[in-house]
Amino acid sequence: MTTPSSARPAGGERYLIGVDVGTGSARAGLFDLTGRMLASGKRDISVFREPGAMVEQSSTEIWTAVCASVREAVEKAGVSPEKITGIGFDATCSLVVLGEDGASLPVGPSEDPQRDIIVWMDHRAVDQVERINALGHEVLRYVGGRISPEMETPKLLWLKESRPQVFDAAWQFFDLADFLTWRATGDLARSTCTVTCKWTYLAHEKRWDPSYFHEIGLGTLADEDFARIGQRVVEPGTPLGSGLIARAASDLGLVVGTPVAAGMIDAHAGGIGTVGVDGSPESNLGYVFGTSSCTMTSTREPVFVPGVWGPYFSAMVPGMWLNEGGQSAAGAAIDQLLSFHPAAGEAAALAKERGLSLPVLLADLAAEKAKTLSGVARLADGLHVVPEFLGNRAPFADPHARAAIVGLGMERDLDNLVALYIAGLCGIGYGLRQIIETQAAAGAPIDKIVISGGAGQLDLVRQLLADATGKQLMATKAEEPVLLGAAILGSVAAGAFPDVGSAMAALSATDRTYQPAGGATAALHAKRYDAFTRLQALAREIR
């Protein structure tokens, strides 16, 4: 695709925009062609929670937040919109339901049509998940053997069974990233990333499997030749339509025809922004530590790992297979854990007084008390946490799992809250270690962890994860690697780089490296990891 003349930047200066829609906010970053972020914008977005694990959002509100974030980033950077050469989008893997002419449809009992998104973390479809998994269709081999309530076909089945009038009235069912690119370009193409990872599209065969949809009760989608979920599927970074359409360009404050790339799931954009730091994606595990956590492992050949999603072909790095793990609650699990403690209110007030978030305050207190970053695990002596508040995504694919906490006493002070915080972080690290070891045993070993995500920005957290897993951990120079990943997609759509791999190598670089401690610290984590796995197994057994 040639860049439309109206979008071609004057002179030698060219810039990229990466847009990331997370669970709680929409963000935009403006980058130059070295991968340096010049400015960013952010807007919070609403999350509506209902009984029965229902979580919903509004696509209208999200688009408004995206546009405001892009305008803010461009204004802060002082860059002319004519010099924006490409834009890429990533978003959570949430389900957007639109009727004719793109009208929003209500997905839940609120009957509010603006609440047209079933959010990724919504677990309303657990019954549908169990029934789908009991059928054991062949496509489940490519999602780790078991479908998850975070994925879209169980949610679609719930919608068909529980709200048939909405299901029947729907014109399109979008993954959120694909909704954003449609809103920007009018192009209905879906990304290989979204439909392969969350909708059971078989990218390695470039097809949907109609028999799966008929078997689980969604045969109508197959009978329609998949017109409502995606007839054209393209790799991330592919230029869509003729770039920004007039309405979208006006909303975003950009130029009509600016190239727009096929998007990605947000965690996978973090992978694109990180795993290419040394030119060998297969040796690096991308680890996004945010509200949830996501692990992404790239291999040259497909590796089937029970309980780990995938293998997905070309879902992140084009031409490579992806195994995806992680947990549904990570940063959110730490927040939940801390909220139980009697000292939580006192700590929150102190954090506010110091202008810090609660986790940053507790990390600072832990570092002061432990003297060294590798010594913080000793603060949690006797306390053990399996932080599975929202089930186990990997390696057990068990949505019914719940958190286990052992070792709590009668303490009500800040020191004990710090100890609980460290125990929770250790639990996050041991869950990551468990995934790494499971994948290695199946034939997908990794050498290093490359971290991104808001919950993983502290030195203490990074060092603790390196020590807990026994793996070298790297952080990238990019201040916002998820935004950089989205911008990388935009750079390919604009023709600034020939492919995603080239853009990854050119725009991402390592900033800091954290080596796992040996000796007594390694031995301590080995003992604690053994306690973690035993406690986890016992919780599963007694349930």
Using CA atoms, how far apart are residues 268 and 290, in angstroms rounded to an integer?
13
Q: Label residues 163-191 b or e (16+ Cβ within 10 Å = b).
A: beebbeebebbbbbbbbbbbbbbbbbbbb
Write the DSSP assignment of 410-445 as a string of letters. S--SHHHHHHHHHHHHHHHHHHHHHHHHHHHHHT--
**Residue 305, pLDDT above cutoff 80:** yes
pLDDT in tens, 167-193: 999 999 999 999 999 999 999 999 999
Does the domain made of 331-434+530-542 have the CATH classification 2.60.40.2130? no
pLDDT tens-digit profile of 353-380? 999 999 999 999 999 999 899 899 999 9
- According to DSSP, the residues that pair with 27 across neighbouring strands are 20, 42
Q: In the chain, which segments carry CATH 1.20.58.2240?
A: 331-434+530-542
**Residue 68 near residue 77, CB atoms below 8 Å:** no
Helix axes 344-353, 414-442, angle to 10 degrees: 90
Q: What does the alpha-carbon distance between residue 338 and residue 348 come to, in Å, rounded to a whole number?
A: 10
Residue 3: predicted pLDDT: 40
Please list, in sequence order, all residues whose beta carbon lies within 8 angstroms of the beta carbon of residue 48, skipping any fewer than 6 positions away.
Answer: 55, 56, 57, 110, 115
If DSSP codes are grouped into helix, strand and coil, which group holds residue 160?
helix
Q: pLDDT for 3-57, tens place per residue?
A: 433 344 444 689 999 999 999 999 999 999 999 999 999 999 999 999 888 999 9
Residue 502 pLDDT > 70: yes
**Tokens 């919070």 correspond to what residue?**
44
Angstrom distance (rounded) from CA 231 to CA 167: 18
At 272-285, the pLDDT tens digits run 988 877 667 889 99
Fold of 5-264: Nucleotidyltransferase; domain 5 (3.30.420)
Q: What does DSSP say about strands 117-118 and 54-57: parallel, antiparallel, or unpaired? A: antiparallel
Across the strands, what pairs with 312? 322
Query: Start-end ranges of CATH 3.30.420.40 in the chain?
Result: 5-264
Taken in order 414, 415, 416, 420, the sign of the CA dihedral is positive
Determine the angle formed by the axes of helices 414-442 and 459-469, rounding to 10 degrees.
50
Look up residue 186 and give its two tokens: 């009018």
230/267 Cα distance (integer angstroms) = 21
